[in-house]
Chain A
Amino acid sequence: MPELDPSDPDAAVIPADGAASSLATSDAATLEDGPLPGAPASGKARSLWSDAWHDLRRNPVFLVSALIIVFLVLIALWPGLIASGNPLQCDLAKAQEGSQPGHPFGFDTQGCDVYTRTVYGARASITVGICATAGAALLGSVLGGLAGFFGSWWDALLSRIADIFFGIPIILGGLVFLSVVTSGSLWPVVGFIVLLGWPQISRIARGSVVTAKQHDYVQAARALGAGDTRLLLRHIAPNAVAPVIVVATIALGTYIALEATLSFLGVGLKPPTVSWGIDISNASTQIRNAPHMLLWPAGALSITVLAFIMLGDAVRDALDPKLR
């Protein structure tokens, strides 16, 4: 018997207190709403995605955030563009000194230049952030979407696997996984974060798909003979993607911070790699003595997360047919 099947005649209906009014209105609303998203699909005109792109190009929020992200990516690729120093050259005699000419952000505990390290740290942090988020979001939304859409044993299997992964303590997983891989390169760290991150996104995606699937326009499209693939990509995905985008954009920031935690435990990135995470965790114990050590890398992290949250918001709006 399918696990989540609203069309099942034997299905037990769970009555909800006071549901009547909202049920009635929302049903009525979605009925009206139904044919709209399906409409452009029938014509050859513009697809939903090209519509979205059309909107995005004129959205100032999108333009600003995209500009910041392009700038960050440029720095990550060529840090030498805006920093002339060497992030590994440190003079302990200057430990924790404040701002001075040529060194606008001051020095850290080891006497390294905070400005140079913040600029050079972008590469590792942004690579880990973007790749881990992309990986976890892709894996999570595909698996979660399939689980939510097909229900039945798919759902049972995928959700229970996710449960097991949820159970692994990050520290244990990190120590085991990354002590086996000793190269100290970025990719094992990215892989590890994806491995731990996908279950959360998959649960969110599954939840949204389960809701979206019930909508009448989906039922209508199915009745009109739309196949599973078409239903998923054309009708359900655009309506279920918002929570995934929200979680993924915040997750980007927490993943960069997670890299810091792993480095702090001695299992993440290893020197000579420079990253915001390493610097933030080094600074965290010195907050009473040298707050500037925390301010700059954490500020850089904030700006990055801000840019991605804004981008996510804009993309989400553009995908929402109701706004048009």
Chain B
Amino acid sequence: MRGATRARWAVCALSAVLAAAAAGCGGGGGGGTGVVRSSWGDPQNPLEPANTNEVQGGKVLAMIFRGLKRYDPRSGAAENMLAEKIETSDQQNFTITLKDGWTFSNGEKVTSKSFTDAWNYAALVDNKQKNASFFEYVDGYDKVHPASGAATAKTLSGLVVKDDRTFTVKLKTKFSTWPDTLGYTAYAPLPRAFFDDHAAWLKKPVGNGPYAIDSYAKGSAMKLTKWDGYPGDDKAKNSGVELRVYTDNNTAYTDLQAGNLDLVDDIPSAQLKNVKNDLGDRYINQPAGIIQTLAFPMYDANWSKSGMEKVRRGLSMAINRDQITDQIYQKTRTPATDWTSPALGEKGGYKAGLCGDACTFDAASAKKLIQEGGGLPGGRITLTSNVDTGSHRVWMDAVCNSINNALGNDNACIVNPVGTFADFRNQISEQRLSNPFRSGWQMDYPLIQNFLQPLYYTDASSNYGKFSDPQFDKLVDEANAESSQGAANAKFQDAERILAREMPAIPLWYQNGSAGYSDRVSDVTLNPFSVPVYEQIKVG
């Protein structure tokens, strides 16, 4: 041991001479007692609630913010958090009453104004918040966020503060399940500090959740400590969390094995075969609200002309989902039988098997259907996806092989990998693709509406294939006007049956959340958004 220490000192002395970098010597990795060391990815955007639209930033926000509602980590059901009650008589005008006793971790009280200021900030086009469109349902959005030109109002006219604990919201149209969307982080309240000294707040965000940020070194690590004054029931059961940025999930996994890390919430696909061996029962694999589909370019006449629905259904039947999820993903994906996610639960509107035969592998019928529909446009199809993230390359190859084998033609399907996500995104939005492309969707809130309306409603924001069906649109409108969630769900499921007939996008599989943890921690769970429920983790 002595020798090793000496060697370390020698190396450190050398480093001090060579690059004046003695800072690295002395303290080694570590984290104090009771601190969970967890893997993290560098958030793409500054950590503002309405500007964070990816999991890594969302992870932090879920620890330092609590909104009006919160999705139950187990069932995904939206439950009141800061809201005492949210009432409506017409599914369009809502009155929100806040619970008493909530403060931000800097001591400031959470009032109605904390919410309306935050929402107005998020919606105003000048602030360039990426989640601004979440407020498009609120009356007056067109004024603060016009499609072009400058804003003609600074605040949303649909938001009215009644007193410190009450405010009202007027929506543009009826939207019965709107209150259930309010658990999304974009709706979080913000303290005055956010507006008064924005730059300082960004360096060290302050919120009202069970944790407070201790230090934040952008691009490398964040330390959060338990906030002792947290008024909620879901107090942290550990003394803090240390998030470490990894650029490669393989390295995080290796660090977990070496005992340098307690929690990895993204098991690399190459290790899926070994994970049970390496970690035993310290491995979680459960449904998350993510679905992968192959969308057809319905703006292309070759794909949208009548008769092609047979080809589209045939292609769906040519994909052996069971085999691919088994062999490639080791069951961390589940073959999809509809266009939503089992993470919704029955209450959220999930119903297995809505896709029917069209999502069941049947090579003979696939071949027959494609022939009846007039064959593949141009005799072959290409699948397009970005390959810079998410190991998309592997499943694309597997899907193409499955189609080729089913059709008995080596050249029926070829893959078209795209180098960057940005390039892929641009090819889609400029409608340059004339063949099916990957379309992934991660839910914002656990409602069936979130899986259908933004993706398949005529001209909806993420309807990249430009699918349009009047009957589908009508059913969605009716569903949103229903007063009970059960009735709304039934209408949405009727709308899904239209998708099964028209097949504008082939459902591939539901993505699971997977995580592994060290023997230092226990009670590790993932919520339906595949984010670890940090406050429940116990250390030691």
Contacts and interface: CB of A to CB of B under 8 A. Distances in A.
Say if the two chains contact directly (CB < 8 Å).
Answer: yes
Nearest to B397: A110
Interface in A12-26: none
Interface stretch (A88-96, A140-148, A188-196): A88-96
B122 to A, nearest CB: 34
Contacts, number: 73
A171 to B, nearest CB: 9
Interface stretch (A115-123, A203-211, A267-275): A267-275
A91 B417 CA distance: 21
Contacts of A111: 327, 401
B328 A86 contact: no
B387 A266 contact: yes
Given A86-B410, A92-B323, A289 B273 contact: yes
A265 interface: yes
Nearest to B320: A92
Given A92-B323, A179-B419, A266-B387, A109 B414 contact: no
A37 B483 CA distance: 99
A50 interface: no
A88 B404 contact: yes
B418 interface: yes
Given A93-B327, A110-B401, A265-B387, A271 B410 contact: no
- Top 7 closest pairs, chain A to chain B, by CB: A266-B417, A285-B270, A266-B387, A95-B327, A266-B419, A175-B419, A88-B410
A266 B388 contact: yes
B152 to A, nearest CB: 41
B387 A271 contact: no
A58 interface: no
Interface in A88-116: 88-93, 95, 109-111
A44 interface: no
B393 A266 contact: yes
Nearest to A263: B417
B423 interface: yes
A270 B414 CA distance: 9
Given A271-B397, A272-B410, 12 more contacts: A88-B404, A109-B394, A175-B423, A179-B418, A266-B386, A270-B415, A270-B417, A271-B400, A282-B394, A285-B270, A286-B270, A289-B274
A92 B324 contact: yes
8 contacts: A90-B405, A179-B418, A266-B386, A266-B417, A270-B414, A270-B415, A271-B415, A286-B270
Interface of B: 250, 268-271, 273-274, 320, 323-324, 327-328, 386-388, 393-394, 397-398, 400-402, 404-405, 410-411, 414-420, 423
Contacts of A110: 394, 397-398, 401
B270 A267 contact: no
Interface string A60-90: 0000000000000000000000000010111
A92 B419 contact: no
Interface string A150-189: 0000000000000000000000001100110000000000
Contact of B419 (A88, A90, A267, A286): A267
Contacts of A179: 418-419, 423
Nearest to B394: A109
Contacts of B250: 285
B327 to A, nearest CB: 4
Contacts of B414: 270-272
Contact of B270 (A265, A270, A289): A289
Contacts of A266: 386-388, 393, 417-419
A288 interface: yes
A90 B410 CA distance: 10
A270 B327 contact: no
Nearest to A281: B393
Contacts of B394: 109-110, 282
Contact of B398 (A86, A92, A267, A289): A92
Contact of A265 (B268, B324, B419): B419
A90 B397 CA distance: 10
B328 A109 contact: yes
A77 B363 CA distance: 35
Contacts of A88: 404, 410
